[in-house]
Amino acid sequence: MNHIFGPVNSRRLGRSLGIDLLPRKICNFDCIYCEVGPTTNLTCERREYVPTGEIIAEIEEFCSDPARMESVDVVTVTASGEPTLHSGLGRILRFLKERTGKPVAVLTNGTNLSRRDVAADLSVADVVIPSLDAVLPESFRKLNRPARCVDLGEMIEGLVGFSHAFTGELWLEVLIVKGINDSGENIEALIKVIRRMKLSRVQLNTVARPPLEKFARPVSREALEETAARIASETAVPRVDIIAHGISTFARTAEEGRTKIKFDYLKQEELIGDIEQMLQRRPCTAEDMSRTLALSGPEEVERLLEPLVKSGTIKKRLHEDRIYYLYGGNQE
């Protein structure tokens, strides 16, 4: 089983080597926007779903080629589900820190930060990126569809507590879905919780990749900008980014104490990185990718992917009269 993917260009982290800790979709959420697919094992049980030694052996093999390691900016621990459910997380993070010498980031849905063992495991990471999409119970249930064992209040207190204890960078990701957690009441409640946390950044996202449920619709760019500006001006978070369809940064300028807005369009290599990440999850048509990434049309996707198709990194396959792009040989 392959637990390592990439390195791919991540718009947030740079050239990122991914480590996937789970063999299939195991999670304590079944989010409507999930791009991995339906949760096959909805559980809060923390255990060694894959032998830790097997994952470490794969990392060791990758690290034994210095040229490959040279191309990596950051190692990102993630999963086809929730990585903190793997009980070997701490050992894997310590090994990554010692063996790679690269910054290590962990993506998590934030549910387990109230657990002492999980908080201790994460303490060696350089960047932890937990999610918190909704703090109102009804929106939380509709959006994240948690397992019965997840307690929203405990999750929020865990996030707040962890934010004050963790000494690395903590970036809170908030994903907003139209008609579910975008109301004024939801944003107001979220801001109240953010005010209690010590964060390096808030990252606002919306449904930017094919979601599990078709009814999970993105909010507009204007809605994201309005929310970002509110968070930047009503909390002490030093930086608020929008990470869907380009990156905007709302940063408080120290001298003026005001909110400054800067918008950078995605660079070509970041777009290609986004496409690679989509294709690693599932085959897509050029139309799908163009729509999801808000590009000018399928021709633009074809042009961007041409070098990768020529090199064999990405393959094309005809299925029911449509051409699908597949990543590498992993779907063969």
Residues that bind ligand SF4 (CB under 6 A): 27, 29-31, 34, 36, 39, 81-82, 109
Contact yes or no for 314/326 (Cβ under 8 A): yes
Cβ proximity to ligand SF4, 55 vs 304, nearer residue:
55
Cβ proximity to ligand SF4, 83 vs 88, nearer residue:
83
Smallest distance from ligand SF4 to CB 59, Å: 21
Cβ proximity to ligand SF4, 207 vs 295, nearer residue:
207
Q: Is residue 300 exposed (0-12), middle (13-18) or buried (19+ Cβ within 10 Å)?
A: middle
Cβ proximity to ligand SF4, 28 vs 52, nearer residue:
28
Cβ proximity to ligand SF4, 281 vs 315, nearer residue:
281
Smallest distance from ligand SF4 to CB 64, Å: 30
Q: Strand 4-10's sheet: what is its strand order?
A: 4-10, 14-20, 74-78, 104-108, 127-130, 169-176, 201-206, 239-242, 247-252, 259-264
Contact yes or no for 239/201 (Cβ under 8 A): yes
Smallest distance from ligand SF4 to CB 36, Å: 5
Measured between its terminal Cα atoms, the distance across the chain in Å is 15
Smallest distance from ligand SF4 to CB 86, Å: 13
Residue 151, CA distances (Å) to 29, 114, 121 in order: 12, 11, 21
Residue 67, CA distances (Å) to 56, 63, 70, 77, 269 in order: 19, 9, 5, 21, 20
Cβ proximity to ligand SF4, 29 vs 324, nearer residue:
29
Smallest distance from ligand SF4 to CB 41, Å: 11
The two beta strands, 127-130 and 169-176, are parallel
Smallest distance from ligand SF4 to CB 31, Å: 3
